[in-house]
Amino acid sequence: MRVLIIKRPIAAVIMCGILCLNTTAGRLVALSFGDIDLLNGQDWSHMAGAAVDSEGVNVRPLGRTIVNQDGSDNQVNPPINTRGPHLAFTGNIRLSATFNNASDGAVLFLYAHPPIIYDEWRAEPPTLRITTLGGSHVQAAVWDGTSDMPVETRTFSAPLTDDPFELTIERHGSWIALALNGRSLGNIRAHRTFSEGTLWFGMDALQHSWTLRALRASRLSLGRLALLGTPPLTVPHDDPSALRSLATKRDAPLTIGAAVAVHPLLTDESYRQLAVGQFSMWTPENDFKPQFVHPQPDVYDFTEGDSIVEAARAHSIAVHGHALVFGEANPRWMQQTPPSERRQVMVDHIRTVVDHYNGRVSEWDVVNEPLSDDPADYQNGNYGLRRHLWFEALGEAYIALAFRTAHEADPQAKLYLNEYGIEHEGQRWSALLALITRLQQANVPIDGVGFQTHVHSADDHVDPAVLRGHIQQLAALGVSSRISELDVHGEDQSLQASEYAQVAAACIAEPTCTSYSTWGITDRYGSTTQSHTYPLALGNDLMWDESDTPKAAYRAVQSELEP
Ligand code: XIL
């Protein structure tokens, strides 16, 4: 009698000898203790690219790839069901998945924890990826949490002729055994995929849509196996000393905002408590950017942005949309659009995104970072505008067109232009002021300017008098201001605190400053984390440290807001 076709290590076979039976020759049948249905009754409707129908979960190709800042392709970014079921377990387990119409390019992911998604990078957790190939192979790839790339990939010959077919994935200690319709395909080392005792699921479609008909989990050894659902989006928030509470006690309305990311919002309780409890405005940090919502010319997917908006609305938190037109974070197809077609692409993109969020997103960064970094662009009569794909195709006119299009799509929304480095005197500020003046003269519907106010180096410092002066100059033109992306280097936490406080004081003192928003909440997910580092080399620029302990900066902002 054959037990389980695991050639190595021997220990797994011996252990399985106690626990595994076989009924029909060549079939793997294990005694399991409890059987968990991960599909029925679970939430799969909030995974990007997925649609639930009577057959199961239909997965459509999104083709999401993260682009580097220079526009080149980086990692693929397939969806994860962070709002759906996940598992907590000890010991050996089996997962069985029934695939329909999936013999080529169907992908199933098991993640030890959800990846952190940055704008130009994904921090890859320990992961198992299973891919069907050409009707005849199953590929397994394993990431171990120390690199962007899989540490091991194995391709197994597998006749994917039955429809549907069932794949089983069994963890046996440090090995993973794969089987198709009960017949062993082979093994691959688990590395650290199962070492955290939790599993999250993701899927992708590389060629065409396919359907996951069933997904079940069971135990193969003594131990724990529990199905965890996502906690409700709503959490109580009534701390009178929280930033958002302090701000409402003021005469002039001022939102206290932060950039938020969907995965921690859905999966990290402590992050969610801070996001909900402390802030009255959220800016989706990356989830609204073109590469995430509009990965292919005819593919929009708003699922992740929608979850942020839904959670915001449940807590009366306003949403500031970021960013409609930007030189970065554009999917490859958008970058490769011939200049003569870019006007249409830009207009369609703005219309579709603003229309989708009409009435739910109260403000937009319509144009993000229009100013150039190259001093030459400020000379010889040039206006200092960045030469990115939109400028190259349309010249300065792209800016007015973007605002007019956004305004048409949602006449109620407040429309902002967002830029960095304009809190200082110098050519960037002069160019910005001149640009806003030209837009005003041409009756372009622009409501405000976002001062990003990133303070990332030890010799950087915001002079609050200069910042206030700039806010006042814009006010004189009838234009509001907001602090849109504040974060401050934090080696010296008291210096950091005074920087946070001074910017808050400047904003509070100016009636046209509509929001004080920071670029992130906790250093655990900060945008200044060094890309491609394993373990993560975290930055220290935010008000809460990597274990969510508030820093001096938090208390300093609290006291600025106290009446
Ligand atoms: C940042 C994101 O926060 C990071 O995740 C990413 O790695 C880099 O981009 N100005 C902007 C934001 O307007 O969109 C940028 O966001 C930070 C600078």
In order, the DSSP letters of 441-462 are HTT----EEEE--EE-STT---
Q: Is the pLDDT of residue 8 over 90?
A: no
Whole-number pLDDT of residue 230: 79
Give residue 270's identity as a one-letter amino acid code. S
Q: Is the pLDDT of residue 31 over 60?
A: no
Q: Is the pLDDT of residue 20 over 80?
A: no
At residue 199, the 3 state secondary structure works out as strand
Place of tokens 């938190």: 317
- For the segment 9-32, the average pLDDT, to the nearest whole number, is 34
Pairing of strands 127-133, 137-143: antiparallel
Residues that are catalytic: 369, 485
- For the segment 383-394, the average pLDDT, to the nearest whole number, is 98
CA-to-CA separations, 355 to 237, 368, 417, in angstroms, rounded: 30, 19, 19
- For the segment 229-254, the average pLDDT, to the nearest whole number, is 86
Q: How far does the centroid of ligand 1 lie from the alpha carbon of residue 285, in Å? A: 7
Query: Which residue has the least CA distance to atom 6 on ligand 1?
Result: 119
Phi, psi of 447 (to 5 degrees): -95, -30
Band of pLDDT at residue 252, cut at 50, 70 and 90: confident
> Candidates 119, 287, 523: which one to mutate for ligand 1, based on the most atoms within 8 Å of Cβ?
119
**285: Cβ below 6 Å to ligand 1?**
yes
Give me the chain's average pLDDT, please.
Answer: 93
**541: Cβ below 6 Å to ligand 1?**
no
Query: Which residue has the least CA distance to atom 12 on ligand 1?
Result: 285
Percent pLDDT > 90 in the chain is: 89
Q: What is the pLDDT of residues 270-301, one digit of tens each?
A: 999 999 999 999 999 999 999 999 999 999 99
Band of pLDDT at residue 3, cut at 50, 70 and 90: very low
**77: Cβ below 6 Å to ligand 1?**
no
Q: How far apart are CA 142 and CA 151, in angstroms?
A: 6
Place of tokens 């928003």: 517
**96: Cβ below 6 Å to ligand 1?**
no
**452: Cβ below 6 Å to ligand 1?**
yes
Whole-number pLDDT of residue 10: 30
- For the segment 83-112, the average pLDDT, to the nearest whole number, is 97
Whole-number pLDDT of residue 306: 98
Q: Is the pLDDT of residue 24 over 60?
A: no
Q: How far does the centroid of ligand 1 lie from the alpha carbon of residue 438, in Å? A: 27
Q: How far apart are CA 212 and CA 370, in angstroms?
A: 44
C-beta separation of 8 from 187 below 8 A: yes
Place of tokens 């849509």: 209
- For the segment 237-258, the average pLDDT, to the nearest whole number, is 90
Q: How far apart are CA 520 and CA 472, in angstroms?
A: 27
Q: How far does the centroid of ligand 1 lie from the alpha carbon of residue 527, in Å? A: 6
- For the segment 342-358, the average pLDDT, to the nearest whole number, is 98
- For the segment 441-459, the average pLDDT, to the nearest whole number, is 96
Q: Alpha helix (H) ranges present in 331-417?
A: 332-335, 339-356, 389-394, 397-409
Q: Which of 516, 511, 514 is nearest to 500 (CA)?
A: 516
Q: Provide CB contacts within 8 A for 475, sequence distance 6+.
A: 481, 510, 511, 512
Q: Is the pLDDT of residue 250 over 90?
A: no
Q: How far apart are CA 320 and CA 281, in angstroms?
A: 7
Whole-number pLDDT of residue 458: 87
Taking the CA of residue 121 as reference, the ligand 1 atom at the shortest distance is: 7
Q: What is the pLDDT of residues 100-112, one digit of tens each?
A: 999 999 999 999 9
CA-to-CA separations, 413 to 57, 288, 374, 534, 547, in angstroms, rounded: 35, 16, 32, 41, 36
Q: Which of 180, 19, 143 is nearest to 91 (CA)?
A: 19
Q: Is the pLDDT of residue 436 over 50?
A: yes
Q: How far apart are CA 487 and CA 277, in angstroms?
A: 19
Q: What's the full length of the chain, in residues? A: 563
Q: How far does the centroid of ligand 1 lie from the alpha carbon of residue 440, in Å? A: 28
Q: How far does the centroid of ligand 1 lie from the alpha carbon of residue 514, in Å? A: 21
Band of pLDDT at residue 488, cut at 50, 70 and 90: very high
Q: Which of 372, 379, 276, 369 is nearest to 330 (CA)?
A: 369
Q: H-helix or E-strand containing 554? A: helix 552-561
Whole-number pLDDT of residue 4: 36
**560: Cβ below 6 Å to ligand 1?**
no
Band of pLDDT at residue 521, cut at 50, 70 and 90: very high
Q: Is the pLDDT of residue 12 over 70?
A: no
Taking the CA of residue 418 as reference, the ligand 1 atom at the shortest distance is: 13
Q: How far apart are CA 48 and CA 224, in angstroms?
A: 30
Q: Is the pLDDT of residue 450 over 50?
A: yes
Q: Is the pLDDT of residue 211 over 50?
A: yes
Q: What is the pLDDT of residues 292-329, one digit of tens each?
A: 999 999 999 999 999 999 999 999 999 999 999 999 99
**499: Cβ below 6 Å to ligand 1?**
no
Q: How far apart are CA 112 and CA 195, in angstroms?
A: 7
Could you give the angle at the alpha carbon of 559 between the alpha carbons of 557 and 563, nearest 5°?
A: 120
Counting beta carbons within 10 angstroms of the beta carbon of residue 282, is it exposed (0 to 12), middle (13 to 18) or buried (19 or more)? buried
Q: How far apart are CA 150 and CA 533, in angstroms?
A: 15
Q: Provide CB contacts within 8 A for 428, sequence distance 6+.
A: 371, 384, 419, 421, 422
C-beta separation of 209 from 49 below 8 A: no
Percent pLDDT > 70 in the chain is: 94
Taking the CA of residue 285 as reference, the ligand 1 atom at the shortest distance is: 3
Q: What is the pLDDT of residues 162-192, one digit of tens each?
A: 999 999 999 999 999 999 999 999 999 999 9
> Candidates 69, 286, 453: which one to mutate for ligand 1, based on the most atoms within 8 Å of Cβ?
286
Q: Which of 37, 59, 40, 41 is nearest to 49 (CA)?
A: 59
Q: Is the pLDDT of residue 33 over 80?
A: no
Band of pLDDT at residue 69, cut at 50, 70 and 90: confident
